[in-house]
Amino acid sequence: MLRVALFGCGRIGQVHARSIAGHDDAELAWVCDPVLPAAQTLAARLGGHATDNVAQVLADPDVDAVVIASPTPTHIDLLSRATLAGKPVLCEKPIDLDLARIDQCWSDIAGLRPFVMMGFNRRFDPTFTQIRRRVGAGEIGTLRALRITSRDPEPPPRAYVVSSGGIFRDMTIHDFDLARYFLGEIAEVQAFTADDGNEMLAAEGDAHQAMVLLRSRSGALCTITNSRSCVFGYDQRVEAFGDNGMLEAGNQTSSSVRASGPFGAEASDTYLRFFVERYRDAYLAEFDEFVHAVREQRQPSPGFADGRAALVLAEAAIESAATGRTVTVSPHLTDGVLT
Protein backbone atom coordinates (compact mmCIF):
# COMPACT_ATOMS: atom_id res chain seq x y z
CA MET A 1 0.00 0.00 0.00
CA LEU A 2 1.17 3.48 -0.91
CA ARG A 3 0.80 5.66 2.16
CA VAL A 4 -0.19 9.13 1.05
CA ALA A 5 -0.14 12.45 2.89
CA LEU A 6 -2.66 15.04 1.78
CA PHE A 7 -2.16 18.78 2.19
CA GLY A 8 -5.35 20.79 2.02
CA CYS A 9 -8.93 19.90 3.00
CA GLY A 10 -10.94 22.16 0.70
CA ARG A 11 -13.19 21.03 -2.10
CA ILE A 12 -10.41 19.71 -4.31
CA GLY A 13 -8.58 18.26 -1.29
CA GLN A 14 -11.67 16.21 -0.51
CA VAL A 15 -11.78 14.95 -4.07
CA HIS A 16 -8.21 13.72 -3.73
CA ALA A 17 -8.91 12.24 -0.29
CA ARG A 18 -11.65 10.08 -1.79
CA SER A 19 -9.37 9.00 -4.65
CA ILE A 20 -6.69 7.97 -2.16
CA ALA A 21 -9.04 6.20 0.25
CA GLY A 22 -10.84 4.43 -2.56
CA HIS A 23 -7.72 3.21 -4.37
CA ASP A 24 -6.89 -0.48 -3.98
CA ASP A 25 -3.17 0.17 -3.57
CA ALA A 26 -3.15 3.37 -1.53
CA GLU A 27 -4.30 4.72 1.79
CA LEU A 28 -4.55 8.04 3.51
CA ALA A 29 -1.69 8.39 6.00
CA TRP A 30 -2.02 12.05 6.94
CA VAL A 31 -4.45 14.86 6.39
CA CYS A 32 -2.71 18.18 6.98
CA ASP A 33 -4.47 21.53 7.06
CA PRO A 34 -3.91 24.74 9.05
CA VAL A 35 -7.54 24.41 10.11
CA LEU A 36 -7.04 21.38 12.30
CA PRO A 37 -10.74 20.50 12.82
CA ALA A 38 -11.18 20.27 9.06
CA ALA A 39 -8.27 17.85 8.86
CA GLN A 40 -9.69 15.85 11.76
CA THR A 41 -13.11 15.57 10.21
CA LEU A 42 -11.73 14.33 6.91
CA ALA A 43 -9.31 11.88 8.56
CA ALA A 44 -12.08 10.49 10.74
CA ARG A 45 -14.11 9.76 7.67
CA LEU A 46 -11.49 8.48 5.26
CA GLY A 47 -8.55 7.40 7.43
CA GLY A 48 -5.10 8.68 8.43
CA HIS A 49 -3.87 11.04 11.12
CA ALA A 50 -4.85 14.69 11.23
CA THR A 51 -2.39 17.51 11.82
CA ASP A 52 -1.67 21.14 11.08
CA ASN A 53 2.07 20.51 11.21
CA VAL A 54 3.72 20.19 7.82
CA ALA A 55 7.12 19.25 9.20
CA GLN A 56 5.67 16.36 11.18
CA VAL A 57 4.14 14.89 8.03
CA LEU A 58 7.22 15.24 5.88
CA ALA A 59 9.40 13.75 8.63
CA ASP A 60 7.28 10.61 8.78
CA PRO A 61 9.33 7.86 7.09
CA ASP A 62 6.12 5.90 6.47
CA VAL A 63 4.81 8.55 4.10
CA ASP A 64 5.41 7.27 0.57
CA ALA A 65 3.97 10.16 -1.39
CA VAL A 66 2.39 13.58 -1.06
CA VAL A 67 -0.67 15.22 -2.64
CA ILE A 68 -0.74 19.02 -2.53
CA ALA A 69 -4.27 20.44 -2.69
CA SER A 70 -3.75 23.53 -0.56
CA PRO A 71 -4.13 27.16 -1.76
CA THR A 72 -1.91 28.14 -4.69
CA PRO A 73 0.48 30.43 -2.72
CA THR A 74 1.55 27.45 -0.62
CA HIS A 75 2.30 25.12 -3.55
CA ILE A 76 5.94 26.02 -4.12
CA ASP A 77 6.86 25.82 -0.47
CA LEU A 78 5.19 22.45 0.03
CA LEU A 79 6.45 21.09 -3.27
CA SER A 80 10.03 22.11 -2.46
CA ARG A 81 9.97 20.75 1.07
CA ALA A 82 8.38 17.48 0.01
CA THR A 83 10.98 17.06 -2.71
CA LEU A 84 13.72 17.83 -0.20
CA ALA A 85 12.24 15.11 2.00
CA GLY A 86 12.42 12.73 -0.95
CA LYS A 87 8.65 12.35 -1.36
CA PRO A 88 7.03 12.04 -4.76
CA VAL A 89 4.51 14.84 -5.25
CA LEU A 90 1.16 15.19 -6.99
CA CYS A 91 0.52 18.96 -7.03
CA GLU A 92 -2.67 20.76 -7.99
CA LYS A 93 -2.34 23.38 -10.71
CA PRO A 94 -1.01 26.01 -10.93
CA ILE A 95 2.48 25.63 -9.50
CA ASP A 96 2.38 29.34 -8.75
CA LEU A 97 1.13 32.54 -10.33
CA ASP A 98 4.65 33.96 -10.75
CA LEU A 99 6.97 32.58 -13.39
CA ALA A 100 10.13 33.85 -11.70
CA ARG A 101 9.21 32.01 -8.52
CA ILE A 102 8.53 28.86 -10.50
CA ASP A 103 11.94 29.05 -12.15
CA GLN A 104 13.60 29.72 -8.80
CA CYS A 105 11.80 26.73 -7.36
CA TRP A 106 13.06 24.53 -10.17
CA SER A 107 16.68 25.63 -9.80
CA ASP A 108 16.33 24.89 -6.08
CA ILE A 109 15.05 21.36 -6.54
CA ALA A 110 16.41 20.31 -9.92
CA GLY A 111 19.38 18.55 -8.37
CA LEU A 112 17.20 16.50 -6.03
CA ARG A 113 15.78 14.16 -8.65
CA PRO A 114 12.36 15.71 -8.16
CA PHE A 115 9.24 13.65 -8.81
CA VAL A 116 6.47 16.18 -9.46
CA MET A 117 3.24 15.32 -11.19
CA MET A 118 0.81 18.17 -11.96
CA GLY A 119 -2.88 17.77 -11.30
CA PHE A 120 -4.21 18.54 -14.77
CA ASN A 121 -7.16 16.25 -14.33
CA ARG A 122 -8.58 16.68 -17.82
CA ARG A 123 -5.68 14.76 -19.35
CA PHE A 124 -7.18 11.73 -17.62
CA ASP A 125 -10.78 12.22 -18.65
CA PRO A 126 -11.81 9.06 -20.51
CA THR A 127 -13.38 10.98 -23.41
CA PHE A 128 -10.38 13.23 -23.98
CA THR A 129 -7.99 10.31 -23.52
CA GLN A 130 -9.96 8.33 -26.07
CA ILE A 131 -9.90 11.16 -28.61
CA ARG A 132 -6.16 11.62 -28.20
CA ARG A 133 -5.59 7.89 -28.63
CA ARG A 134 -7.74 7.73 -31.75
CA VAL A 135 -6.08 10.84 -33.18
CA GLY A 136 -2.71 9.28 -32.39
CA ALA A 137 -3.79 6.10 -34.15
CA GLY A 138 -4.44 8.13 -37.29
CA GLU A 139 -8.20 7.75 -37.34
CA ILE A 140 -8.82 11.32 -38.50
CA GLY A 141 -5.54 11.84 -40.36
CA THR A 142 -3.40 14.84 -39.47
CA LEU A 143 -5.02 16.91 -36.73
CA ARG A 144 -5.57 20.41 -38.13
CA ALA A 145 -7.96 22.20 -35.81
CA LEU A 146 -8.82 21.80 -32.16
CA ARG A 147 -11.74 23.44 -30.40
CA ILE A 148 -11.96 23.53 -26.64
CA THR A 149 -15.05 24.86 -24.90
CA SER A 150 -14.99 25.34 -21.17
CA ARG A 151 -17.67 27.20 -19.29
CA ASP A 152 -18.23 27.13 -15.55
CA PRO A 153 -21.75 27.05 -14.14
CA GLU A 154 -21.26 30.29 -12.23
CA PRO A 155 -18.57 32.85 -11.39
CA PRO A 156 -16.29 32.25 -8.40
CA PRO A 157 -16.71 34.44 -5.33
CA ARG A 158 -14.85 37.73 -5.11
CA ALA A 159 -12.47 36.27 -2.53
CA TYR A 160 -11.26 33.79 -5.14
CA VAL A 161 -11.11 36.32 -7.94
CA VAL A 162 -8.86 38.74 -6.09
CA SER A 163 -6.12 36.15 -5.66
CA SER A 164 -6.57 33.82 -8.59
CA GLY A 165 -4.45 35.71 -11.08
CA GLY A 166 -7.33 36.25 -13.48
CA ILE A 167 -9.30 34.10 -15.90
CA PHE A 168 -6.29 32.97 -17.97
CA ARG A 169 -4.35 31.77 -14.92
CA ASP A 170 -7.21 30.24 -12.95
CA MET A 171 -9.50 28.86 -15.65
CA THR A 172 -7.98 28.84 -19.15
CA ILE A 173 -4.86 27.25 -17.72
CA HIS A 174 -6.67 23.90 -17.88
CA ASP A 175 -7.43 24.49 -21.55
CA PHE A 176 -3.89 25.57 -22.32
CA ASP A 177 -2.69 22.30 -20.86
CA LEU A 178 -5.34 20.38 -22.80
CA ALA A 179 -4.23 22.12 -26.00
CA ARG A 180 -0.65 21.01 -25.34
CA TYR A 181 -1.91 17.49 -24.57
CA PHE A 182 -3.40 17.28 -28.07
CA LEU A 183 -1.11 19.55 -30.08
CA GLY A 184 2.29 19.58 -28.39
CA GLU A 185 4.13 22.88 -28.00
CA ILE A 186 2.35 26.12 -28.81
CA ALA A 187 4.03 28.79 -30.93
CA GLU A 188 1.59 31.72 -31.00
CA VAL A 189 -1.20 33.07 -28.83
CA GLN A 190 -3.97 35.60 -29.46
CA ALA A 191 -6.68 36.43 -26.98
CA PHE A 192 -9.84 38.47 -26.47
CA THR A 193 -11.65 39.00 -23.19
CA ALA A 194 -14.89 40.64 -22.14
CA ASP A 195 -16.49 41.37 -18.79
CA ASP A 196 -20.04 40.79 -20.06
CA GLY A 197 -21.28 43.48 -17.71
CA ASN A 198 -20.31 41.58 -14.57
CA GLU A 199 -19.55 44.42 -12.17
CA MET A 200 -17.64 42.42 -9.59
CA LEU A 201 -15.28 41.01 -12.18
CA ALA A 202 -14.90 44.37 -13.90
CA ALA A 203 -14.10 46.02 -10.58
CA GLU A 204 -11.39 43.47 -9.92
CA GLY A 205 -9.98 43.85 -13.43
CA ASP A 206 -10.94 40.35 -14.39
CA ALA A 207 -12.89 39.00 -17.35
CA HIS A 208 -16.13 37.04 -17.59
CA GLN A 209 -15.33 35.37 -20.90
CA ALA A 210 -12.27 34.73 -23.01
CA MET A 211 -11.61 33.54 -26.53
CA VAL A 212 -8.14 32.42 -27.49
CA LEU A 213 -6.47 31.39 -30.73
CA LEU A 214 -3.39 29.18 -30.62
CA ARG A 215 -1.03 28.01 -33.30
CA SER A 216 1.03 24.95 -32.47
CA ARG A 217 4.61 24.52 -33.62
CA SER A 218 3.35 21.70 -35.81
CA GLY A 219 1.05 24.16 -37.57
CA ALA A 220 -2.34 23.16 -36.18
CA LEU A 221 -4.73 25.86 -34.98
CA CYS A 222 -6.86 25.89 -31.85
CA THR A 223 -9.67 27.97 -30.37
CA ILE A 224 -10.49 28.09 -26.70
CA THR A 225 -13.82 29.49 -25.54
CA ASN A 226 -14.31 30.24 -21.86
CA SER A 227 -17.08 31.71 -19.80
CA ARG A 228 -17.28 32.14 -16.06
CA SER A 229 -20.97 31.35 -16.08
CA CYS A 230 -23.25 29.06 -18.01
CA VAL A 231 -26.88 28.83 -17.09
CA PHE A 232 -27.32 25.28 -18.41
CA GLY A 233 -24.41 23.82 -16.46
CA TYR A 234 -20.79 22.86 -16.86
CA ASP A 235 -19.99 23.11 -20.57
CA GLN A 236 -16.95 20.98 -21.36
CA ARG A 237 -16.44 20.04 -24.97
CA VAL A 238 -13.56 19.18 -27.27
CA GLU A 239 -13.64 18.92 -31.05
CA ALA A 240 -10.68 17.54 -32.96
CA PHE A 241 -10.83 18.09 -36.73
CA GLY A 242 -8.42 16.41 -39.11
CA ASP A 243 -7.89 15.62 -42.76
CA ASN A 244 -9.88 12.44 -42.48
CA GLY A 245 -12.60 13.14 -39.95
CA MET A 246 -13.65 14.69 -36.68
CA LEU A 247 -13.92 13.44 -33.13
CA GLU A 248 -16.09 15.33 -30.67
CA ALA A 249 -16.44 14.96 -26.91
CA GLY A 250 -19.87 16.31 -26.15
CA ASN A 251 -21.22 17.31 -22.80
CA GLN A 252 -22.14 14.56 -20.40
CA THR A 253 -25.63 14.31 -19.04
CA SER A 254 -26.71 13.04 -15.66
CA SER A 255 -28.53 10.20 -17.38
CA SER A 256 -29.58 9.00 -20.82
CA VAL A 257 -33.17 10.09 -20.18
CA ARG A 258 -34.75 12.31 -22.81
CA ALA A 259 -37.99 14.17 -22.28
CA SER A 260 -40.65 15.33 -24.74
CA GLY A 261 -43.70 17.35 -23.86
CA PRO A 262 -45.82 20.34 -24.75
CA PHE A 263 -42.65 22.44 -24.45
CA GLY A 264 -40.83 20.55 -27.20
CA ALA A 265 -39.05 17.32 -27.87
CA GLU A 266 -36.08 15.20 -27.00
CA ALA A 267 -34.62 17.37 -24.27
CA SER A 268 -31.60 15.67 -22.77
CA ASP A 269 -31.12 15.36 -19.04
CA THR A 270 -29.14 18.12 -17.34
CA TYR A 271 -25.37 18.14 -17.65
CA LEU A 272 -23.14 16.86 -14.90
CA ARG A 273 -23.04 19.84 -12.56
CA PHE A 274 -19.42 20.82 -12.10
CA PHE A 275 -15.90 19.43 -12.09
CA VAL A 276 -16.33 17.08 -9.14
CA GLU A 277 -19.10 15.24 -11.01
CA ARG A 278 -17.91 15.71 -14.60
CA TYR A 279 -14.32 14.69 -13.94
CA ARG A 280 -14.94 12.08 -11.24
CA ASP A 281 -13.41 9.32 -13.34
CA ALA A 282 -10.58 11.63 -14.42
CA TYR A 283 -9.55 12.27 -10.82
CA LEU A 284 -9.51 8.56 -10.14
CA ALA A 285 -7.45 7.86 -13.25
CA GLU A 286 -5.10 10.71 -12.44
CA PHE A 287 -4.39 9.37 -8.97
CA ASP A 288 -4.05 5.86 -10.33
CA GLU A 289 -1.41 7.06 -12.80
CA PHE A 290 0.37 8.79 -9.90
CA VAL A 291 0.44 5.54 -7.92
CA HIS A 292 1.78 3.62 -10.90
CA ALA A 293 4.44 6.22 -11.70
CA VAL A 294 5.63 6.22 -8.07
CA ARG A 295 5.69 2.44 -7.91
CA GLU A 296 7.53 2.15 -11.21
CA GLN A 297 9.91 5.00 -10.40
CA ARG A 298 9.31 6.70 -13.73
CA GLN A 299 8.85 10.38 -14.47
CA PRO A 300 5.20 11.34 -14.17
CA SER A 301 3.24 13.08 -16.88
CA PRO A 302 2.12 15.85 -16.83
CA GLY A 303 5.15 17.06 -14.91
CA PHE A 304 6.62 20.29 -13.57
CA ALA A 305 7.54 21.50 -17.05
CA ASP A 306 3.93 21.07 -18.15
CA GLY A 307 2.77 23.08 -15.17
CA ARG A 308 5.19 25.84 -16.10
CA ALA A 309 4.28 25.73 -19.81
CA ALA A 310 0.59 26.24 -19.12
CA LEU A 311 1.38 29.34 -17.08
CA VAL A 312 3.62 30.65 -19.87
CA LEU A 313 0.62 30.42 -22.19
CA ALA A 314 -1.55 32.21 -19.65
CA GLU A 315 1.00 35.03 -19.49
CA ALA A 316 1.07 35.19 -23.28
CA ALA A 317 -2.73 35.40 -23.41
CA ILE A 318 -2.73 38.18 -20.83
CA GLU A 319 -0.22 40.11 -22.90
CA SER A 320 -2.14 39.54 -26.13
CA ALA A 321 -5.43 40.63 -24.58
CA ALA A 322 -3.75 43.77 -23.28
CA THR A 323 -1.78 44.75 -26.40
CA GLY A 324 -3.85 43.32 -29.21
CA ARG A 325 -0.79 41.57 -30.58
CA THR A 326 -0.12 37.94 -31.32
CA VAL A 327 2.39 36.79 -28.74
CA THR A 328 5.07 34.42 -29.92
CA VAL A 329 5.97 31.84 -27.33
CA SER A 330 9.68 31.21 -27.90
CA PRO A 331 11.02 27.77 -27.08
CA HIS A 332 13.39 28.80 -24.28
CA LEU A 333 10.53 30.41 -22.42
CA THR A 334 8.44 27.32 -22.65
CA ASP A 335 10.82 24.65 -21.61
CA GLY A 336 14.44 25.89 -21.74
CA VAL A 337 14.87 26.18 -18.01
CA LEU A 338 13.68 22.69 -17.49
CA THR A 339 15.64 20.73 -20.05
Residues forming the site for a second copy (CB under 8 A): 126-127, 130-131, 134, 139-142, 144-145, 147, 151, 188, 190, 192, 194, 196-197, 208-209, 211, 213, 215, 219-223, 225, 227, 229-233, 241, 243-253, 255-271, 324-326
- To a second copy, the closest distance from the beta carbon of 118 in angstroms equals 24
Which residue number, 176 or 271, has a Cβ lying nearer to a second copy?
271
Taking the complex as a whole, the smallest distance from the CB of residue 190 to a second copy amounts, in Å, to 5
CB of residue 229 to a second copy, shortest distance in Å: 8
Minimum CB–partner distance for residue 241 and a second copy (Å): 7
Residue closer to a second copy by CB (options 239, 335) is 239
Which is nearer to a second copy, 34 or 47 (by Cβ)? 47
For residues 210 and 305, which CB has a smaller minimum distance to a second copy in the complex? 210
**C-beta of 211 vs 337, nearer to a second copy:** 211
User: CA-to-CA distance for 154 and 162, rounded, in angstroms?
Assistant: 16
Q: For a second copy, give the closer residue by CB, 164 or 252.
A: 252
Q: Nearer Cβ to a second copy, position 50 or 186?
A: 186
CB of 134 to a second copy, least distance (A): 8
Quick one: 180 or 308, whose CB is closer to a second copy?
180
Question: In the bound complex, what is the minimum distance in angstroms from residue 47's beta carbon to a second copy?
Answer: 12
**Under a CB-based contact definition with an 8 Å cutoff, are residues 228 and 167 in contact?**
yes
Closest alpha carbon to 117 in 301, 244, 252: 301
Return d(Cα 214, Cα 259) in angstroms, integer: 39
Residue 132 C-beta: closest distance to a second copy, Å: 11
Measured from the CB of residue 122, what is the shortest distance to a second copy in angstroms?
A: 14
Closest to 254 measured CA to CA, from 231, 224, 234, 228: 234
> What is the number of other CB atoms lying within 10 angstroms of the CB of residue 187?
18
- Contact yes or no for 238/148 (Cβ under 8 A): yes
Contact 317, 191 (CB under 8 A): yes
DSSP line for 179-233:
HHHHH-SEEEEEEEEE-TT-HHHHHTT--SEEEEEEEETTS-EEEEEEES--TT-
CA 87 from centre of chain: 21
Instruction: Give Cα 288 to chain centroid, integer Å.
Output: 16
Burial of 137 (0-12, 13-18, 19+ CB in 10 A): exposed
CA distance linking residue 139 with residue 143, whole number of Å: 10
